[in-house]
Structure 1
């Protein structure tokens, strides 16, 4: 495979992860694993970590395994799928935990219309404290109605 193919696999995996995240958030986090996600919908964090942070492992473990098996015995496509998942996880951390929830005060004065729209959509998602009646389950794709157009 060529370098462009590997880059394409990584980018495609990153993009597909938005759909995977949406489905996981709607049907797993707001479904049978609500007990792990519920504390995330409470008004204030009760410490540095919340049970919801366990989902980091749910996504990180497959990514690490794919990267491990993607270099042995020879470099192959699994590494680049793992990298796509890892890059999405890094974006998720920066967007969700840093920008939206301000768990770290790195980007507290954002004026970019797209990023402001992301924050608005996520606030709408969190207005529901229960697992029912949710909306805006994705992270990077946000409906137009949340942007000042």
Structure 2
């Protein structure tokens, strides 16, 4: 997203955007890839490895949607009052990732695997 496909992801790092972003096209792209793997894999070999790749892509897309779009960015106001040190660390790491608005200076945060330094900050802020 911060390399070859920055042109789709860039508006996600700008605060002035509508509800829909060009970044949302990643859902469509990966959904089509997952559907293609499933259909081709099911046609060629029955329930084979291509279907499992499709399931993996789909599960990652669901995790991205729930964790990144719903929880972190609050595109749907569902989890506003979470008080868990892991979830606070996750939000802090993503906030640091968005601190810079260009593609080269953003810090990698890991979508589910948060760097240890953010856990330490989350524990400090809890006490």
Any unmatched runs of 5+ in structure 2? none
Give the RMSD, CA atoms, in angstroms.
1.6
Aligned residues, how many?
120
Counterpart residue number, 2:108: 136
Instruction: Calculate the TM-score normalised by the size of structure 1.
Output: 0.73
Cα contact 1:117–1:146 (8 A) shared by 2: yes
Any unmatched runs of 5+ in structure 1? 1-28
The answer to which structure, 1 or 2, has the higher relative contact order (CA under 8 A, 6+ apart) is 1
Counterpart residue number, 2:30: 59
Q: Deviations over 1:85-114 (max 9, x none)?
A: 101110110000000000001111111221
Distance in structure 2 (CA, Å) of the matches to 1:33 and 1:79: 25
Residues 1:99 and 2:71 aligned together: yes
Q: Deviations over 1:58-97 (max 9, x none)?
A: 3222211111123225221211111111011101100000
Cα contact 1:63–1:86 (8 A) shared by 2: yes
Q: Secondary structure at the match of 2:74?
A: coil
Offset at 1:116?
Answer: 1.5
